Amino acid sequence: MSEVVIAMYRPWDHANEEALKELIRQHNTTLRVEQLITERPALLLQGEDGTYLEIFEWLPGAAKKAHDHPAIKKIWKRMEELCEFAPLISLPEAEKTFPHFKPVDGVVT
């Protein structure tokens, strides 16, 4: 059974946001090329505190495979240098009944 994930990236420094968005693009592209995610279009959103939310759908068993995939691990390691992997509860929007986020176009497919 597939699963939808919300991966959240809170930049350490807003000066590196373009580099982080490029890594998110590489992440999404690599997941797609390596057939780890479904054909469902991914979303990239941004919270009021600057956190990026990448929403995509894993193929069955793919999340576990991604943790052993060299290209994915390399992207995640670089991401750790640019951002914190934030929990959903840490977003200011998590306290709202109907949270709103800004769409970020042109990064993920």
What's the CATH code of the domain at 35?
3.30.70.1090
Beta strand ranges found along the chain (DSSP E)? 3-11, 43-46, 52-58, 83-85, 102-103
Inside any domain, residue 18:
yes
Q: What is the DSSP letter of 42?
A: P
Q: Which phi and psi (to 5°) does residue 91 adopt?
A: -75, 135
Inside any domain, residue 14:
yes
Number of domains in the chain: 1
Q: What is the pLDDT of residue 61?
A: 96
Q: For residues 101 and 107, give the distance between their C-alpha atoms in angstroms, rounded to a whole number.
A: 16
Residue pLDDT, tens place only, 43-99: 999 999 999 999 999 999 999 999 999 999 999 999 999 999 999 999 999 999 999
Inside any domain, residue 104:
no
Inside any domain, residue 35:
yes
Q: What is the pLDDT of residue 38?
A: 98
Domain that holds residue 55: 3-86
Contact 82, 12 (CB under 8 A): yes
pLDDT grade for 29, boundaries at 50, 70 and 90: very high
pLDDT grade for 2, boundaries at 50, 70 and 90: very high
